[in-house]
Amino acid sequence: MIRQPADQARRALTEYFDAYSTSTVIYIELPDLPRGRALDSYFALDSVEVRDETEIYADLGYTVYFTVNPTSVKLSDDLFSLTIEGGNLEFGSSSMRRFYKQGTIQFFVIPDTPITERARESGEVRLRNLLAELSA
C-alpha cells in the first residue's frame, strides 16, 4: 500500500498515463482556467520523480512540466479523471510558467467514448487497484 502523497501521485500519474496516453488526448485543467476550459494536447509522461520525499516533478513532453507538493490524490470512480491537490504547484513550458501557492491539477479524458472505454478496459484492473489504494 502506498502511504506518502508524493509516492501516490507518482504511481497514479504513471498508471493513468499508461492507460490512456497512447490512445486518446489527455486534458489538463489548472486552477485559473475558466470553468470548462482545459489544456488539450497529446501530453506524454516522459518521466515522473519524487524529490525530497514531498514533491513530484513530471515531464509531460514537448518542454511541458509540472511540480507540486501533493496533499491528496484522487481517481474518479469511473476512472476517467485524476486530480492531484497540493502546494507550490508549478506548471510550465519553455515559453510560459504558472505558479499557484495551493491548487489542483486535473487530468481527464472525454468519458464514455469507444476509444476511452477500450483504454479504460485494458488498464481497468490496475486503475481499480489504484482507486482502492487511494481510497483506503
Residues of the chain with pLDDT > 70, as a percent, come to: 90
State yes or no: pLDDT of 101 exceeds 90: yes
**pLDDT at position 35:** 58
| pTM across the whole model | 0.91
Pairwise CA distance, residues 3 & 134, whole Å: 9
CA-based nearest residue to 10, from 61, 81, 114, 82: 82
**pLDDT at position 2:** 46
Phi, then psi, of 12 in degrees rounded to 5: -60, -45
Mean pLDDT, rounded, for 31-42: 66
Phi, then psi, of 115 in degrees rounded to 5: -70, -50
| Options 3.30.70, 3.30.1560, 2.30.29, 2.40.480; CATH of 5-127 | 2.30.29
Pairwise CA distance, residues 17 & 63, whole Å: 17
**Between 61 and 1, the higher pLDDT residue:** 61
